Amino acid sequence: MLGRPPNAKSFVLDLLSTLRRGAMPVRALVAAAALFGIAEGSVRVALTRLLGAGLIERDDRGLYRLGQAAAPVQRRVAAWRELDAQLLPWSGGWIGIFAAGAATPPSRASQRCGERALRLSGFRPLVRGLALRPDNLAGGVTRVREELAALGLAPGSVVCEVRELDPVSEARARKLWDAEDLVANYRRHRQQLGASTRRLRARSAEFAMVESFHVGGAVLRLLAHDPLLPEPIVHAAERAALVDAMRDYDKIGRANWSGFLSRHGVRHGKAPATPFDRHAISRGELR
């Protein structure tokens, strides 16, 4: 199950995200990109542009690593392994965001960044100017406020607890998310992980590197966008089952990519993140 080849810019971010220690030389980036049909020239152009945007950094030996500008979204995606630890039993309360009135309209880029921050954090609009999500995250409103700021929510927006909605608003709030679609996606992606695992056992390491990038990346995109809804809004056990299946698949992806990294002298730690971790955030959907 091979998807569309990634563009060079997203692929560089994907591969550099595997590194928990050290950095990667150009030759390794070029060799990996060739497996996906990406030309060397495209890789070098992507490196130049990513450096300019602060998304990657280069040391004095010419080795590349992720830059600070990529950190907030990367942390969001990397948290998939510990989703259970991020959640608390839901008492029925909500976290709300009131849009701040600005003296001057925000730029289009700033507006997109704020919309992405709300989307990644699971907020949906209840009425004009007010977006909600269940208050079921460890750390409560303080943690959510900090994460929204890191993701680019405009300064001045009011992030607060919301309690005791009227019955009509409460009923509407619980239906802001398509719970049936969420569960269907959990199940579909879990089936795809199982099917891919069976294929990878019979194919080459190179095939496994490419397929795990695509299949695992699709799951990570899903989990990165997941609103982390509690019971009874969604059947949370289906999400937990997908995370469990992804943990198993992650081991396969790491095993195949680890050999490649070692051959190119790239220090990647005992348990490197897989390339599809960053694949979930490097494409346009999460920017």
How far is 127 from 14, CA to CA, in rounded Å? 37
Per-residue pLDDT, averaged over 248-264, amounts to 87
Domain match, 57 and 115 both: no
Give a yes or no: residue 262 inside a domain: yes
Query: Which DSSP state fits 68?
Result: G
CA distances from 149 to 116, 180, 285 (A): 11, 30, 19
Among residues 137, 162, 187, which one ends one of the domains? 162
How far is 100 from 155, CA to CA, in rounded Å? 8
Domain match, 39 and 158 both: no
Among residues 106, 137, 162, which one ends one of the domains? 162
Domain match, 120 and 145 both: yes
- Distance from the first to the final alpha carbon of the chain: 25
Sheet holding 130-134, edge to edge: 124-127, 130-134, 94-98, 158-162
Which has the closest alpha carbon to 47: 4, 77, 76, 15? Answer: 15
Domain match, 82 and 106 both: no
Give a yes or no: residue 47 inside a domain: yes
Position of tokens 């309690």?
163
How far is 120 from 168, CA to CA, in rounded Å? 26
Pick 165 or 74 by higher pLDDT: 165
Domain match, 147 and 256 both: no
How far is 28 from 168, CA to CA, in rounded Å? 57
Domain match, 234 and 280 both: yes
Q: What is the CATH number of the domain that holds 209?
A: 1.10.10.10
**Which residues, at least 6 apart from 273, have a Cβ–Cβ distance to it below 8 Å?**
17, 18, 20, 78, 254
Confidence check: pLDDT of 16 > 90 = no
Instruction: Quickly state the pLDDT bin for 101 (edges 50, 70, 90).
Output: low
Give a yes or no: residue 168 inside a domain: no
Domain match, 46 and 115 both: no
Domain match, 122 and 233 both: no
pLDDT of 32-86, one tens digit each? 999 999 999 999 999 999 999 999 999 888 899 888 888 877 777 778 888 888 9
Pick 161 or 285 by higher pLDDT: 161
Domain match, 200 and 278 both: yes
Whether the link from the prior residue into 232 is cis, omega within 30° of 0, is yes
Give a yes or no: residue 171 inside a domain: no
How many structural domains comprise the chain?
A: 2
Most confident of 59-63, 89-93, 97-101, 219-223: 89-93
Domain match, 82 and 98 both: no
Helices (H), the chain: 8-16, 26-35, 40-53, 71-78, 83-86, 108-120, 140-151, 167-173, 179-200, 205-225, 236-263, 275-282
Q: How many CA atoms lie within 13 A of 226 on its CB side?
A: 32
Give a yes or no: residue 151 inside a domain: yes
Among residues 128, 162, 196, which one ends one of the domains? 162
Q: What is the domain range of residue 258?
A: 1-87+178-287
Instruction: Quickly state the pLDDT bin for 236 (edges 50, 70, 90).
Output: very high
Confidence check: pLDDT of 180 > 90 = yes
